[in-house]
Amino acid sequence: MSVLNPVLLPPNVKAYLSQGERFIKWDDETSIASPVILRVDPKGYYLYWTHQSKEMELLDVTSIRDTRFGKFAKIPKSQKLREVFNMDFPDNHFLLKTLTVVSGPDMVDLTFHNFVSYKENVGKDWAEDVLALAKHPMTANAPRSTFLDKILVKLKMQLNPEGKIPVKNFFQIFPADRKRVEAALSACHLAKGKNDAINPEDFPDSVYKSFLMSLCPRPEIDEIFTSYHAKAKPYMTKEHLTKFINQKQRDPRLNSLLFPPARPEQVQVLIEKYEPSGINVQRGQLSPEGMVWFLCGPENSVLAHDTLLTHHDMTQPLNHYFINSSHNTYLTAGQFSGLSSAEMYRQVLLSGCRCVELDCWKGKPPDEEPIITHGFTMTTDILFKEAIEAIAESAFKTSPYPVILSFENHVDSPRQQAKMAEYCRTMFGETLLTDPLENFPLKPGIPLPSPEDLRGKILIKNKKNQFSRLASSSKKPGVVAEGSCPSSVPVEEDTGWTAEDRTEVEEEEVAEEEEEEESGSLDEEEIKKMQSDEGTAGLEVTAYEEMSSLVNYIQPTKFISFEFSAQKNRSYVVSSFTELKASELLSKASVQFVDYNKRQMSRVYPKGTRMDSSNYMPQMFWNAGCQMVALNFQTMDLPMQQNMALFEFNGQSGYLLKHEFMRRLDKQFNPFSVDRIDVVVATTLSITVISGQFLSERSVRTYVEVELFGLPGDPKRRYRTKLSPTANSINPVWKEEPFIFEKILMPELASLRIAVMEEGGKFLGHRIIPINALHSGYHHLCLRSESNMPLTMPALFVFLEMKDYVPDTWADLTVALANPIKYFNAHHKKSVKLKEVTGSLPEKLFSSGIPVAGQSNGVPVSAGNGSTDLNLKPQH
């Protein structure tokens, strides 16, 4: 509610975008270049261009993934187009006029819309401002009313040559039941014939809403309205609406002093906004139709809008965050065959990922350019420098916080490694962090810098040799690495390490070198290893001086034991685990794994046998505090959907601050706890799936699945509604009991998934939302595609109720604390009745067995005043 919670404003469309600009749109495949006028509609829903023939093309802003200008925009390859743009003439300034808009339903299936402006630097402004619209948090998380308004705007934009709305467009937008569309048009006294057209002036916002109410009536909202409105009156007074807001739409856990309940004078503003009848507005009354639009508005968002913005403390050490991470980033399909693409680095970074992987291999003569590919498979190659260029362009478009490049380095050539390092230095420039920050030296016991400290920086994760070496120590004697120290005596870095630390590092490196020498030639045993769960990660080569010198805060090392890591206490050392190894460690030493992640970072990646690029569920490793839980971003399966949904929050920064129990050294956290977590109040979540709207383009029966992701001790049940009674996908209603998740141990680690399925199991849409970002009350839940893209039409209407968990043994005490007078009056009546039956009063008023604090393991809570923690243990 706006009177209770802040509401984010929609994006602002700059005037020049809606006024439009002349461009030439070109296509390499057809070699056609067409003059167009490019615009954004005033509400920021669509980017569209009009040809000289008046033909119009629309692009939904929510489908825009990137915009590019200058050298990063697409350049024509067709000789015909190059001649059109005079590209082969000197001083043509073509790059100053380019603009490319990238759109698509996922990160692989992309379309590039290419434009050239008539004036220089116009494309730069358009690229920046259109991308800002697409990235605005309210573009994808708009209220239900906005998505419905998008349909009206689209209808009024796509006019026929006579400037009218073709009726056939209604049938295309609402295809599930043509007869219902015709009936709704008739109810609004509009033409309904396939070849008819409607004057836009006859279809204002008020008529459009009447059309929707006729096409998709909401009897379930009428029932809610009836339970709160004045008896025998067809309206709610502002006092009734105030009562509804405070009883149903307000979080019962809120403190009434810090967050005062809504007042009638505040609610009058909502009536003025949503009530269609002017007379009702003057009288402070809300009609049933006004109630529908009120529940579709931003004040009733299912999300706490402030959680979409960067709201976490970004000044904690880097290892105190979950970091959005990608595995084998360059792949567009499976792990064994398929295309590799530098574009994937752009798309993954644009989605908010902060850790990408580069599998580097030696390039072939004559160029000897290092390549990126999946070794010993049939996947294609890309040039290393192309990937670095893509990363340099896209690294900070979505998030300003640090990017980690996880190198799996198989380039056993000092010269080619030097070339790789040079590309990093020249293309990344000052964004590349080559030296530790002054306040965070690489010493045992010193914490890592924070995301804020490292804002705008790129960090390299690659093997690091602690001493400069002669290249003669490599497997290619006689070849000296470019820029290496030509001395037979190792030169020590000023790290402040003890002699014991240096000796131990030398021993670790000798062990690694021996391991590499053993794998110098590819034999059957090696091939088997590559096909194992570890993949090629165990076959990395020596890091020569140039690459080694780029490594600082993310130094990979082979994991030995939790005890060894604790003893060394080096925050900058990171170990990588396959999902199987991480699962094994988690099952055997969960508390130690959590403690390890409090001190330093870990990376988990898919087992090598996932040749189809499927993913593991990341939740179990987040439960252990693992920071970089790397997934295959090209596969939009359930694990990836969960990852994308959660990292959409906190400003899509790619960093989510872990719960303090997973950060504080003085606290112990066991993710397998099934009872309670000290001083953390568990949550009870109840969800009632009431109805759906426009769930499918066909008339089908549908059902809804609801499940919770969280700690192992959380309720694991997956609920499912019955099939909708009829093949009605426009407004099905489910009249079922609420689904209850009684005890969510740590709400900060849990998320809720609600999915709509067609009869037979076909996916129609879903939404995954963190528990802590949910609002209590009646809400419209706008659904997403499998790749987390907003769907304009489908929505669910649900009732959510969140409370502090109260064990049964504390139920009476909770009631007594909530309303002592009411409780004791009721108790006195019971006592009087008991006296009548037994002939005497009970000895003690409290003989009914109200538990005393300390007699139960449950967490008592108070209701009414909003205090959520009566735990008697001291809080730190």
Check residue 805 and give its pLDDT: 86
pLDDT at 213 over 90: yes
Find out whether 143 and 296 touch, Cβ atoms under 8 Å.
Answer: yes
Share of the chain above pLDDT 90, in %: 72
Q: What angle do CA 680, 685, 687 make, to 5 degrees?
A: 165
Check residue 839 and give its pLDDT: 61
pLDDT tens track for 487-520: 333 333 344 445 555 555 555 554 444 444 333 4
Find the mean pLDDT for residues 223-242: 87
Check residue 470 and give its pLDDT: 37
Helices (H) then strands (E): counts for the chain: 26, 34
Assigned token pair, 140: 């994808």
At 832, is the pLDDT very low, low, confident or very high (cuts 50, 70, 90)? confident
pLDDT at 853 over 70: no
pLDDT tens track for 53-66: 999 999 999 999 99
Preceding omega of 747 cis (within 30 degrees of 0):
no
pLDDT at 587 over 60: yes
Q: Which of 526-535, 672-681, 766-775 has the lowest mean pLDDT?
A: 526-535
- Give the bridge partners for 779, in sequence order: 798
Check residue 862 and give its pLDDT: 37
- Give the bridge partners for 57, in sequence order: 49
- Residues that are catalytic: 327, 374
DSSP state of 627: S
DSSP state of 245: I
The 10 Å Cβ neighbour count of residue 275 is 24
At 815, is the pLDDT very low, low, confident or very high (cuts 50, 70, 90)? low
- For the chain, the average pLDDT equals 87
Helix axes 144-157, 288-296, angle to 10 degrees: 100
At 814, is the pLDDT very low, low, confident or very high (cuts 50, 70, 90)? low
Check residue 499 and give its pLDDT: 52
One DSSP character per residue, 421-444 reads HHHHHHHHGGGB--S--TTS-S-T
- Give the bridge partners for 348, in sequence order: none
Helix axes 288-296, 219-226, angle to 10 degrees: 110
Half-sphere exposure of 83 (CA within 13 A, CB side): 5
Residues 6 or more apart whose CB falls under 8 angstroms from that of 837 comprise none
pLDDT at 574 over 70: yes
The length of the chain in residues reads 876
Check residue 866 and give its pLDDT: 39
Q: What angle do CA 235, 236, 240 make, to 5 degrees?
A: 165
Find the mean pLDDT for residues 450-469: 86
pLDDT tens track for 862-876: 333 333 333 333 333
Find out whether 236 and 295 touch, Cβ atoms under 8 Å.
Answer: no
pLDDT tens track for 85-104: 988 887 778 999 999 999 99
pLDDT at 383 over 80: yes
Check residue 539 and give its pLDDT: 72
The 10 Å Cβ neighbour count of residue 239 is 13
Check residue 427 and give its pLDDT: 97
Check residue 378 and give its pLDDT: 85
pLDDT at 525 over 80: no
Residue 798, by phi and psi: left (phi above 0), alpha (psi -120 to 50) or beta? beta
SS (H, E, C) 647-709: CCCCCCCCEEECCHHHCCCCCCCCCCCCCCCCCCCCEEEEEEEEEEECCCCCCCCEEEEEEEE
pLDDT tens track for 419-448: 999 999 999 999 999 999 999 999 999 999
pLDDT tens track for 145-194: 999 999 999 999 999 999 999 999 999 999 999 999 999 999 999 999 98
Find the mean pLDDT for residues 792-815: 82
Distance (Å, rounded) from C-alpha 319 to C-alpha 323?
Answer: 9
At 301, is the pLDDT very low, low, confident or very high (cuts 50, 70, 90)? very high
Find the mean pLDDT for residues 215-230: 90
Assigned token pair, 567: 């003893």
Sheet strands side by side (includes 777-784): 719-720, 702-709, 751-758, 763-770, 777-784, 790-804, 683-693, 739-744
Pairing of strands 763-770, 751-758: antiparallel
Find out whether 768 and 646 touch, Cβ atoms under 8 Å.
Answer: yes
pLDDT at 551 over 50: yes
One DSSP character per residue, 130-183 reads HHHHHHSHHHHS--HHHHHHHHHHHHHHS--TTS-EEHHHHHHHS-S-HHHHHH
Find the mean pLDDT for residues 526-542: 62
Check residue 224 and give its pLDDT: 92
Share of the chain above pLDDT 70, in %: 84
Check residue 534 and give its pLDDT: 64
At 475, is the pLDDT very low, low, confident or very high (cuts 50, 70, 90)? very low
Find out whether 134 and 61 touch, Cβ atoms under 8 Å.
Answer: yes
Find out whether 765 and 641 touch, Cβ atoms under 8 Å.
Answer: no
DSSP state of 865: S
Check residue 261 and give its pLDDT: 92
Distance (Å, rounded) from C-alpha 383 to C-alpha 366?
Answer: 14
Find the mean pLDDT for residues 197-223: 96
Of 220-229, 516-525, 663-672, 769-778, the range with the highest mean pLDDT is 769-778
Q: What is the largest CA-CA distance in the chain?
A: 111
pLDDT at 12 over 60: yes
Check residue 537 and give its pLDDT: 61
Pairing of strands 467-468, 777-784: unpaired
pLDDT tens track for 731-759: 999 989 999 999 999 999 999 999 999 99
